Structure 1
Amino acid sequence: TTTVTTNQPESLQERYEALERENAELKKQVKLLLEELRLARHRQFGKSSERTKEDQVRLDLVFNEAEAEAQPEAEEPTVETVTYQRRKKQPGQREAMLADLPVERIEYRLSEQERICSCCNAVMDEVGAEVRRELKHIPAQTVLVEHVQYKYACRPCDKHGTETPMVKAQMPRPPIPGSLASASMLAHVIDKKYVDGLPLYRQEQQFARKDLALSRQTLANWVVIGATRWLSLVYDRLHEEMLSRKYLHADETTLQVLHEPGRAAESESYMWLYRSGRDGPPIVLFDYQETRSREHPRRFLGGFKGYLHVDGYSGYHDIEGVTLVGCWAHARRKFDEALTALPTAERKKPTAARIGLEYCNRLFKIERGLKDETPEERRA
């Protein structure tokens, strides 16, 4: 006897249900891919208030923003352009600007002979004056300061053969021993580079026009030594003050450092940024580290007891004495991205993304109105 076993085909109902499940899964995948495509196109081509400018994510601009913003090739606006771009002046704006400036007064009077009236030959009296004001620029001067330290010896002791030490008058120590740099010169070079956006090679050219041969390498050394030897003291004091505050903000971003000893040029490093809140004068400190390890904020914030405003990076979690505060701007960005990913026809519907975005917008409007208020005034 021969037994033949055959697999019975599944019923039409089972095949239909399997196809339904497969179709639903495919539709879900297509919807997800379309949302990702719309969001990607929006990020690349669309305008968005969430999108940061290119210069805000370039790390060289974090520390050389003024230089990068400078555009020597940009044309000055013409008279016609100024006409259309003119802003309405605020009452007293010019007077407020000039109030604290020293005044140099130049008076123009007629001589006795010139004051004779051409009609009756009588002497004319002063009856008033017209005042024209202008701003006068006095170029900076570079002065050579010679510190002369006098030495003193006891002549009677010398005559009697008694050895007594010479005494020198006290003299301030130089900021950089063996260098021509004074404190004011260091401040000038650093201010010009980081505030006015004037690179060291241009400062080198400026000094050369004054017949001062100060190379950019020398200026760079002044900047580095001035920062490490003197500004580091200010940094440490600001760090100490920052840790005593109640509210802080923190963030980190990638950084590529060239010619760093022991590391390849393409190595990725991190710059950690810490900023104080509105409970005192603002303090902003940068902390360079080679990694994104959670140990860096733990070390930097050691001793801080308060609220830390950060994004969702887990590296800030579990810092002793710190209460994390989430960032509503980051939360709003996710609602905005979710709304952008929807088809155009659905974006105005009361979806969760729309409700969340409008909630954030209302919250931000309230925050802007209370920006300058104290916590007590905000709660009132």
Structure 2
Amino acid sequence: MIDRTQLQDMCADELRALALELMTEVQAQQHIVDRTEAALRFSDAKLAQLTHEMAVLKRWKFAARSEKLGHEQQSLLDEAIDADLAAIELELERQSTEPKTKDAPNKPRRAPLPANLPRVNVHHEPESTVCGCGCELKRIGEDVSEKLDYTPGVFTVERHVRGKWVCARCETLTQAPVPAHVIDKGIPTAGLLAHVLVSKHGDHLPLYRQERIFARAGLAIPRSTLGQWVGTCGVQLQP
């Protein structure tokens, strides 16, 4: 930082050099501001576009239609709309700069997976059960989350068990991190999602037919849910 005394002691050439340096800095800052404003304008336009597309899709899905479509045509249209709605909702969530809010209290809770499905326990424990203070950690409980997996004809449930370990001296709680999933807080494993996507796009098996196949395997997954999975995976798989 140059004060007034130093400015008075500078010669004309030094003052010209200082002015040129300051002008360069101002131009660089202005360039950054312009780029930021352009990015904000693009983000606002993208949000408006996605919001409009979502409104159109919801109108298609829930409004009464004068045209009469066949059952199979209607099923294909509904599953495409469900996939697009899920994809747009995820895009809007990514574009939004506002922090996530908790789910609405009246939001329906997900039904537990059927008890008759076979369970496979997957344990996640800390690499070390010794606290940083040198004390041995004590296991006081666990968190369990269930994920639905599928191999052709058979549903299984992965029970992810994360033990809770606590240090008696410094009272710190240690747990293994939550494993990464394609859909956060969703029930499908990556294997089930891959099966749905390959069946739909590789084997050209519509979701309403997959719904029937899954029902014969012991768990009827609504095609609207399958459509949401397809839309979310489409966004996650973007390069």
TM-score range relative to shorter protein = 0.3 to 0.5
Tell which has more relative contact order, 1 or 2 (C-alpha 8 A, sep 6+): 2
Higher strand share: 2
Higher helix share: 2
Name the larger-Rg structure. Answer: 1
Report the TM-score, using the length of structure 2 for normalisation: 0.35
